[in-house]
Chains A and B, each alone.
Chain A
């Protein structure tokens, strides 16, 4: 923050720190030592954050608790620091130097001044292990032909979640890409987290999340093709089509890709257009090959 004066020219001397992890605590201590009043807002019942859950830290292997606990005590004791646990920030208004912050404080229902942290109350409480999972929202409806494709595909593999990759392949082959809505619906149907389906769809090179052009050019960049000049081929195509590998031309005519090896090493340098292999490709032949695919 470059300014610390407000609209009326007065300086405000307090700072709000959101989050009481190791970073927040260090910042609070530095500021508090520097003479600022610090308000620390932490969502959890205690400060300490993620580090208090760790054992050793990378790369030195130091014990996490040994580093963090002295700081926790110091923060708790510092007269300039006001800790607000079980609280979160709801609204921030104002300008740099003069903010107004609304903090939502949850009821603790325990008097912190008297509590010794013995834990007897948790042991005595009969209500436990109740997990409340919100109902899964239904994904947006698909166009009818996509819905049929989805149903057929899932059925073909008996709805087994382990066949996810094969299902994605079939959908990718039919639609030539994997639309977002399709993935949401597939995840819903297989009762898998959407993140899992997306993780698989983005991990493997065979899937495309964006529509591809009418013709897909795949330049083999296997070793044999590389030593015979496939890189120059890619450069030329890149210039001629004015796109980078992995992209589609504006008129949706070509998608340019590189593939690791199509196993046609004897025909190096090789490329594939819509699945058809071209061997011993010369740079000077490229314009003609492009022309043959309107």
Chain B
């Protein structure tokens, strides 16, 4: 591939690619994001290829592997283009038959395979087309615009969708103009803190010292959030383009700038796809020296993280890129003044960068109009937990939580009762059912005692113990605290010890008050964001679910039936059919009973692993 030497050459390349493509070409796209991969999408792709070969349709129908569609719950997701027919859970039960049926229906131009189509949960009606499924219909895709549509390993796919066009546009603008547009769009940091992106760029542009550095924060550490992973895997070229625009805005016409992408160690596929994308962009002259003949130089290095949550904090991330342990430091000086290797550095989240090309393409007013007051654009949430349709959803800022959980997520699994939704990971809080009409904005969430965070949204039902959730997050920060400052290192450990005691049925009067007092002290005295926000899950659950804490402490009961020390398993005599499945699955032989007679659990032997309850088909094992 010869490097593209000018903006005009890029446009003509795009034109050629589009001209060589037939809009009516039948394509089977298969999602190969991490979720669908583990559901076996590679096997589906191979089987489809064979089936097409057998039917002699190899020429007529193409196969494309794409990034994440977001509907991970129903994976592997397969979409037939150009009609947009969505087949779900292909090959999970009967691979060969599914694949043969799909190819047959396509080859003969018949009706789609009904049994693989999406079915409405309540009405059981099938929905044929992608865009009619409520999960997708209520979303607004900006950051995920190319996810699931393009093949992330093929730059031509990206170019055909307008990739690098916004960068070409930016090159014709003054860097200050670019900053003004981004500032005006009200795009705020998608990593969670919500700082105005344009303002951050402006600060960095005004700082003296070269080379400047540009870092993309892909260290998505919040447990329960995976949008950055999906974007890096499914649309790496948009990340590169966003960074190119930022680089031009920050250092264009001033001096040299160098880029880094810091990707979490647990995301090998994201590293592969990004590495491939960077290589292709270099070959096309979109990274490197004299990009598009503008005289502007920019290149990217990909750094793998090594499994430390605190490295998502910008100063810790910088320390890690420099090859040191990821310990945060006090600010100021801010990275915009003195960051990587002591030079002005701009750090943004993956999702923030990916929004930038769309803003330049369609204008700041368009972006502003999508969101709510002071919150421009959309936000991707990873809707997970006890909800029917888990996956990635992108919605306009300001959408009420109810709409996301019930409208898009299809409500609570098994028709159970909705209890709370947790946002912001270990730094966020739990929002109770009473506040479910809260709009999803930075301000709205922080008023409720939570934060936007990177966009994890974990739905909880009445079988989730809020005390256990708070303990879980405290355990998490205790492990992940880097140990540099005392309030975070010692304080979270003590809070965790108290929580462990409460969950073990040894809670004491006054524990709740101690937790509250300690929480406030840790939040006030810690050095970095990790410590300052570490007590949030605990404080917010105490605020909204104090009765559950009291039940644990005073009555020694776990209302949700989660805390092992406070529950007992029992087999209901009415429901038990004596099938013996529980007996076979019990690891400690605590269950006795003759075939077809009611079984019994020996409390002395029971280790409360829950294998019996999970394997019982008649819901006969109950928790007391």
Which residues, 3 to 56 on B, are CB-close (under 8 Å) to A?
34-35, 37-39
B573 at interface by CB-CB < 8 Å: no
Chain B residue, CB-CB nearest to A283? B611
A207 to B326, CA, bound (A): 14
Decide if B224 touches A261 in the complex (CB within 8 Å): yes
Tell me how many residues of A have a C-beta within 8 Å of chain B. 50
Chain B residue, CB-CB nearest to A58? B486
Which residues, 189 to 233 on B, are CB-close (under 8 Å) to A?
220-226, 229
Decide if A282 touches B615 in the complex (CB within 8 Å): yes
Decide if B39 touches A206 in the complex (CB within 8 Å): no
A268 to B72, CA, bound (A): 11
Q: How many pairs of A and B residues are in contact by the CB < 8 Å rule?
A: 161
User: A207 to nearest B CB, angstroms?
Assistant: 7
User: A56 to nearest B CB, angstroms?
Assistant: 16
Decide if A264 touches B34 in the complex (CB within 8 Å): yes
A266 to B307, CA, bound (A): 21
Decide if A205 touches B306 in the complex (CB within 8 Å): yes
Known: A232-B609, A267-B72. A224 touches B223 (CB 8 A): yes
A173 to B34, CA, bound (A): 21
Chain B residue, CB-CB nearest to A205? B307
Which residues of chain B come closer than 8 Å to A168, judged between CB atoms? 306
Decide if B224 touches A236 in the complex (CB within 8 Å): no
Q: What is A's interface to B at a CB cutoff of 8 Å?
A: 161-166, 168-169, 196, 199-200, 203-207, 221-229, 231-232, 235-236, 239-240, 259-268, 270, 275-279, 282-284
Decide if B385 touches A169 in the complex (CB within 8 Å): no
A162 to B320, CA, bound (A): 9
A165 to B610, CA, bound (A): 41
24 A-B pairs whose Cβ atoms sit less than 8 Å apart in the complex? A162-B321, A162-B323, A165-B320, A166-B304, A168-B306, A200-B323, A205-B308, A206-B265, A223-B422, A223-B425, A223-B456, A224-B384, A261-B224, A264-B38, A265-B384, A266-B35, A267-B35, A275-B268, A276-B38, A277-B37, A279-B35, A282-B615, A283-B609, A283-B610
B532 at interface by CB-CB < 8 Å: no
Which residues of chain B come closer than 8 Å to A262, judged between CB atoms? 34, 266
Prevailing SS type, chain A contact patch: helix
Which residues of chain B come closer than 8 Å to A169, judged between CB atoms? 265, 304, 306
Which residues of chain B come closer than 8 Å to A263, judged between CB atoms? 34, 220, 226, 229, 266-267
Which residues of chain B come closer than 8 Å to A261, judged between CB atoms? 221-226, 266
Tell me how many residues of B have a C-beta within 8 Å of chain A. 60
A18 to B73, CA, bound (A): 67
Which residues, 437 to 470 on B, are CB-close (under 8 Å) to A?
456, 458, 460, 464, 469
Which residues of chain A come closer than 8 Å to B35, judged between CB atoms? 264, 266-267, 279
User: A124 to nearest B CB, angstroms?
Assistant: 39
Known: A227-B469, A232-B609. A266 touches B384 (CB 8 A): yes
Name the contact of A223 in the complex, choosing from B37, B224, B305, B320 (C-beta under 8 A): B224
Decide if A222 touches B323 in the complex (CB within 8 Å): no
Q: CB-CB contacts of B259-281 with A at 8 A, as 1s and 0s? A: 00000011110000000000000
Which residues of chain A come closer than 8 Å to B229, judged between CB atoms? 263
Which residues of chain A come closer than 8 Å to B472, judged between CB atoms? 221, 223, 226, 231
Known: A163-B323, A278-B38. A265 touches B609 (CB 8 A): no
Most buried by B among A163, A165, A229: A165
B391 at interface by CB-CB < 8 Å: yes
Decide if B614 touches A265 in the complex (CB within 8 Å): no
Decide if A227 touches B386 in the complex (CB within 8 Å): yes
User: A190 to nearest B CB, angstroms?
Assistant: 9
Known: A200-B325, A228-B386, A266-B391. A260 touches B221 (CB 8 A): yes
Which residues of chain A come closer than 8 Å to B226, judged between CB atoms? 261, 263-265
Decide if B34 touches A277 in the complex (CB within 8 Å): yes
User: A208 to nearest B CB, angstroms?
Assistant: 11
Which residues of chain A come closer than 8 Å to B268, judged between CB atoms? 275
User: B422 to nearest A CB, angstroms?
Assistant: 7
A125 to B391, CA, bound (A): 75
Decide if B425 touches A282 in the complex (CB within 8 Å): no
A190 to B587, CA, bound (A): 51
Known: A223-B422, A263-B229. A199 touches B223 (CB 8 A): no
